[in-house]
Amino acid sequence: MTAALSREGTMQSGRPLSRLLQRLEGVMEFRPADIAALETLPINIRNLAAGEWLAREGDVPSRCHLLLAGYLCRMRIIEGGQRQILAFLVPGDFADLQTLHLERLDHGLAALGPVTVGAIDHGALRQLMAQGPHWTHVLWRENLLEAARMREAIVNIGQRHALARVAHLICGLTMRLRAVGLARDFSFPAPWTQSDLADAAGISTVHANRVLQDLRRWGMVDHHNRTVRIHDWPALCKAADFTPDHLHLTRDPIDVDGPTDLSRSFTPPREERRAARD
Amino acid sequence: MTAALSREGTMQSGRPLSRLLQRLEGVMEFRPADIAALETLPINIRNLAAGEWLAREGDVPSRCHLLLAGYLCRMRIIEGGQRQILAFLVPGDFADLQTLHLERLDHGLAALGPVTVGAIDHGALRQLMAQGPHWTHVLWRENLLEAARMREAIVNIGQRHALARVAHLICGLTMRLRAVGLARDFSFPAPWTQSDLADAAGISTVHANRVLQDLRRWGMVDHHNRTVRIHDWPALCKAADFTPDHLHLTRDPIDVDGPTDLSRSFTPPREERRAARD
DNA sequence: CGTTCTATTGACTCGATTCAAACTAAGTGG
DNA sequence: CCACTTAGTTTGAATCGAGTCAATAGAACG
In chain A, which ranges are E strands? 44-48, 53-55, 63-77, 83-89, 108-121, 187-189, 221-224, 227-230
Query: Three-state DSSP class for A44?
Result: strand
* Chain D bases having any atom below 7 Å from a protein CB: 7-13, 17-22, 28
Mean pLDDT of the A185-213 span: 98
A133 contacts in B (CB within 8 Å)?
Answer: 126, 130
Burial class of residue B149, CB neighbours in 10 A (0-12, 13-18, 19+) = buried
pLDDT at B144 over 60: yes
Report the percent of chain A where pLDDT is more than 70: 85
**A233 membership: H or E segment, kind and range:** helix A233-240
Query: Three-state DSSP class for A275?
Result: helix
Give the CA-to-C1' distance from A113 to D16 in angstroms.
Answer: 37
Q: How confident is the model at residue B263 (pLDDT cuts 50, 70, 90)?
A: very low
**B72 membership: H or E segment, kind and range:** strand B63-77
Query: Three-state DSSP class for A165?
Result: helix
Distance CA B27, CA A234 (A): 48
Query: Sign (positive/negative) of CA torsion B101, B107, B108, B113?
Result: negative
- Cβ pair B74, B86 in contact under 8 A: yes
Closest CA to B203 of B150, B247, B167: B167
Q: How confident is the model at residue A15 (pLDDT cuts 50, 70, 90)?
A: confident
Q: How confident is the model at residue A14 (pLDDT cuts 50, 70, 90)?
A: low
| Interchain proximity A104–B248, CB inside 8 Å | yes
Q: Which residues pair with residue A116 across a beta bridge?
A: A47, A69
Per-residue pLDDT at B202: 98
Distance CA A188, CA B244 (A): 38
Residues with CB under 7 A from strand D: A 161-163, 202-204, 206-207, 225-226, 274, 277; B 193-195, 205-206, 209-210, 212-213
What is the tens place of the pLDDT at every residue in A58-96? Answer: 999 999 999 999 999 999 999 999 999 999 999 999 999
Q: What is the pTM of this model?
A: 0.89
pLDDT at A34 over 50: yes
Q: How confident is the model at residue B133 (pLDDT cuts 50, 70, 90)?
A: confident
Per-residue pLDDT at B277: 38
For A227, phi then psi, to 5°, come to -135, 135
Mean pLDDT of the A133-150 span: 96
| Interchain proximity B103–A253, CB inside 8 Å | yes
Task: Out of A3-12, A46-55, A172-181, pick the least confident.
Answer: A3-12
Per-residue pLDDT at A13: 55
A83 contacts in B (CB within 8 Å)?
Answer: 159
Nucleotide nearest to A202 (CA to C1'): D18
Report the percent of chain A where pLDDT is more than 90: 83
Q: Which residue type occupies A58? A: G
Residues 189-208/A with CB within 7 Å of nucleic chain C are 193-195, 205-206
- How many whole angstroms from its chain centre is CA B51? 18
B60 contacts in A (CB within 8 Å)?
Answer: 252-254, 260, 262, 265-266
Per-residue pLDDT at A250: 79
